[in-house]
Amino acid sequence: MKYAYYPGCSLGTSAEEYDVSTREVLKRLGVELSEIPDWTCCGASAVEPVSRLLTLALPARNLALTERECPGLDMLVPCSACYLNHLRVGRECATDRALPGRINEALGAEGLSYAGKVRVRHLLDVLASDVGPKAVAAQVSHSLEGLSVAPYYGCQALRPFALFDDPEHPRSMEPLISALGATVFGWDMGGRCCGASLMATRRDVALVSVAAILDAAAGADVIVTVCPMCQMNLEAYQSQAHHADTISVLYLPQLLGLAFGLSDEQTLLDKNLAMTDALKGKLRACEAASA
């Protein structure tokens, strides 16, 4: 299994732990990554309010590079906003015949062109569908038995395109969590918006969403995420959301890494902003049980 890897800007800066744990966990699972050479920002969620053509041209640039430099490979994207931006280039071109020409005219500024051949995949899709819980279970050396994990999917991995999960009742993380020996925390907030960039522009409104999600997670040991924006909103503003107790928030591959017995340098838990002593204690207990 081999993929063209698009880390995206956040994974190089504030979400370094997501990048490192993704690479390490995939390596352990026998998945090869080839980072797309010369990749650039896809515009995140800021580009669509600025320019419609740029909304498609920025990700199309990365897709064109993938097509040329990593022929035949699917593009693997760990950030949900980056995932959707790249995914919808193909989707929108399919419904608007004039678009491919316009996009390629723009890409021509750099001598690039895109023929529409790249399949865009979210990290969660690859883990759940291509790797699968069986292969994940085979790597578990430190069972997470007794750990209650609340799967948080966020928005753009699920919506508007229902490709690998049910957008109304997402469950794709559950077999993976079970494969680690952990328990899935039952809740219905997995697909509730975290507020996204409203956290910067209208914090009061975003905090209402964050508070609702954190409140619903009461009783879980940890929330797991698959997007750097969700991760930041859920872990960095817990006190402003007037949430009584801190709840640990980890990236999904960090959780996998813990069960695989990866080192601290490979899971980078010390980079997380919300890590409770309770979770650390539970993880030590899991470790002692499997030692």
Partner 1 sequence: MKNMHTPIAFTPAPLVFQDEALAEIQSMVRACMQCGTCTASCPNSFAMDLAPRQMWRMLLFGLKQEVLESRTFWLCSSCYSCTLRCPRGLPLTAAMAALKRLAAAEGDAVNRKKALFYQEFMQNVEQNGRIQEMGFMCHYFLAMHDPLLPLEYGPLGLKLLAKGKLHLGDSTQRGRLGPLFAKVRSMEEAS
Residues that bind partner 1 (CB under 8 A): 9-10, 12-14, 16, 38, 40-41, 43-54, 57-58, 61, 102, 105-110, 155-156, 159-160, 162, 167-168, 192-193, 195-198, 200-206, 208-209, 236-237, 239, 270-271, 273
Q: The tokens of 17 are what?
A: 């732990």
- List beta partners, residue 122: 77
DSSP code, position 32: E
Burial 149-187 (b: 16+ CB within 10 A, else e): bbbbbbbbbbbeeeebbeeeebebbbbbbbbbbbbbbeb
In this complex, which beta carbon is closest to partner 1, that of residue 1 or of residue 212? 212
Q: What one-character-per-residue DSSP string does 120-165 give? A: EEEHHHIIIIIIHHHHHHHT-SS--TT-EEEE---STTTSS--SSS
CB 290, min distance to partner 1, A = 29
Contact (Cβ atoms closer than 8 angstroms) between residue 45 and residue 75: no
Q: Name the minimum Å distance from CB 142 to partner 1.
A: 24
Taking phi over 0 as left and psi of -120 to 50 as alpha, with beta for the rest, 120 belongs to beta
Helix, strand or coil, per DSSP, at residue 92:
helix
Indicate the SS3 state at residue 271: helix
Q: How far is the CB of 9 from partner 1 (least distance, A)?
A: 4
Nearest residue (CB) to partner 1, 45 versus 183: 45
CB of residue 201 vs partner 1: minimum separation in angstroms? 5
Nearer to partner 1, 119 or 202 (CB): 202
Reduced to 3 states (helix: H, G, I; strand: E, B; else coil), residue 220 is strand
Least CB distance from residue 102 to partner 1, whole Å? 7
Whole-number Å distance between alpha carbons of 256 and 142: 10
**Cβ 19 to partner 1, closest distance in Å?**
12
Q: How many residues does the chain have?
A: 291
Q: Which is nearer to partner 1, 30 or 105 (CB)?
A: 105
What is the closest distance, in whole angstroms, from the C-beta atom of residue 145 to partner 1 in the complex? 29
Query: For residue 248, what is the enclosing H or E element?
Result: strand 248-251
User: Which one, 47 or 180, has the nearer CB to partner 1?
Assistant: 47
**Nearer CB in complex with partner 1: 68/159:** 159
How many CB atoms lie under 10 A from the CB of residue 226?
A: 27
Q: Give the nearer residue to partner 1 in terms of CB position, either 196 or 223.
A: 196
CB of 3 to partner 1, least distance (A): 20
For residues 55 and 139, which CB has a smaller minimum distance to partner 1 in the complex? 55
